[in-house]
Structure 1
């Protein structure tokens, strides 16, 4: 399958590293011009320079904006007023027992993981429907369907993304715009790699062994028996953003390595 996104404009939130960065590179490789977004000027500048060096014939721009806030989302929209492709990737997790979670923990995580995507979709979708073509992808997670007890707040936000994604797909039915979500499993993203490095250091083992231990103890149903890579997740996203995926909308596509023991 030869995927070409030449002439398409893409916005990927939270995309200076990890899964978001892999998505940016995949979109650029397919010929789309891409906006990289992050909260740090230095990280955005570095990411833009590195991706531009990889794909010198593709337009790569950077926008510094905290999309967890209304003000940051407005900055993103004002500086990238048009998008054919929107990937709502911005998000984080902070493992903490339920009884230790304060109201602010819940609200802050909801603003970043959920409301950032709500605001971006609310801005970009109307023009996509007017043009009769568009792709919106929410990066959810397998904890959306298997809530981890040490990250109930995170699981809640990821389940919310599935509801929003499906509801938006219903809203734009028949317009030529598709809305889908992707559910990665344990992935060697920046956040997970940081956690695994800390675990490895504390236990005196390699990061690779720490990852294997995590899969065996925390995700024993994994069929891959390893972490997926950001590029493996990005491959699914790039497909959903393509013309070839025009028949797929309102779907929750799993790249979880078989962690979820479900047929559908």
Structure 2
């Protein structure tokens, strides 16, 4: 299926590694000019170099989206270069990492920091870039959320809450943008093998007596994570869905949350 992204500019936040990198490579492969974003300039440039080496077009912006000043500076750069037709709000995570402490021990400071990292940063970027989409009469806003927002495991309540807020923000945004040619959607992601999830996968593998999760991938997927697909997800599993939602082929899709978690 031709996704006809030629001539479109796409900002993918948090695209210097992991799922964001996979999304950036896929959108570039479909013809979009991709603006790679990360906090580390060398890693961000490395992804952009991968794109250009494959014949695509890429730009780089760097900055910490939890800093208002850095966010404004990098968005000034994006807007000056022509704005973005497609915004992928992918940057996020859990402030302080995914240590599995009990819910009642998660501090208020961690709740606030996680919300800032996932929700308020996405709101700030969206508010700056959507006006340009409205002027052009076409645009896509896609939030990369998490399936834990929907099936709450007994830890990480701050992260679950932040991702649920992202899903609801996308739905509210879709209603506000109705009839404008700009759509808003979210994707709730399951277990995906990335550098950030490596420690979680290794901890889970240890419960099966393995030192490397790849050696017990099928059992890990079906027994520990209770998936219906007997493998761990890869970034491209998410990237293909994002590319569809980002394309003109998805003109009829807005206000939707697509769950990609292998049936958990």
TM-score of the superposed pair, with normalisation by structure 2:
0.91
Aligned residue for 2:155, secondary structure, equals coil
| Unmatched segments (≥5 aa) in structure 2 | none
TM-score of the superposed pair, with normalisation by structure 1:
0.91
Residue in structure 1 matched with residue 22 of structure 2 by the alignment: 22
* Alpha-carbon distance in structure 1 between the residues aligned to 2:115 and 2:176: 22
User: For each residue in 1:27-63, what CA deviation from the matched residue of structure 2 results, as whole angstroms up to 9, or x when unmatched?
Assistant: 10111101111111221122222222123xx321111
Aligned residue for 1:140, secondary structure, equals strand
- 1:125, CA displacement in angstroms? 0.8
**Runs of at least 4 residues off by over 6 Å:** none
Question: Are 2:214 and 1:208 equivalent residues in the alignment?
Answer: yes
* Alpha-carbon distance in structure 1 between the residues aligned to 2:235 and 2:170: 21
1:33 and 1:218, CA in 2 relative to 1: closer, same or farther beyond 3 A?
same
Residue pair 1:141, 1:183 contacting (<8 A) in 2 also = yes
* Alpha-carbon distance in structure 1 between the residues aligned to 2:158 and 2:118: 10
Residue in structure 2 matched with residue 32 of structure 1 by the alignment: 32
Residue pair 1:98, 1:150 contacting (<8 A) in 2 also = yes
Residue in structure 2 matched with residue 73 of structure 1 by the alignment: 71
Residue in structure 2 matched with residue 52 of structure 1 by the alignment: 52
1:61 and 1:201, CA in 2 relative to 1: closer, same or farther beyond 3 A?
farther
1:196 to 196, 201, 206: 201
1:123 to 128, 133, 152: 128
Question: Are 2:252 and 1:247 equivalent residues in the alignment?
Answer: yes
1:166 to 161, 165, 171: 171
Aligned residues: 256
User: For each residue in 1:65-98, what CA deviation from the matched residue of structure 2 results, as whole angstroms up to 9, or x when unmatched?
Assistant: 1112212221221110110000000011324321
- 1:192, CA displacement in angstroms? 1.2
- 1:129, CA displacement in angstroms? 1.3
* Alpha-carbon distance in structure 1 between the residues aligned to 2:210 and 2:132: 53
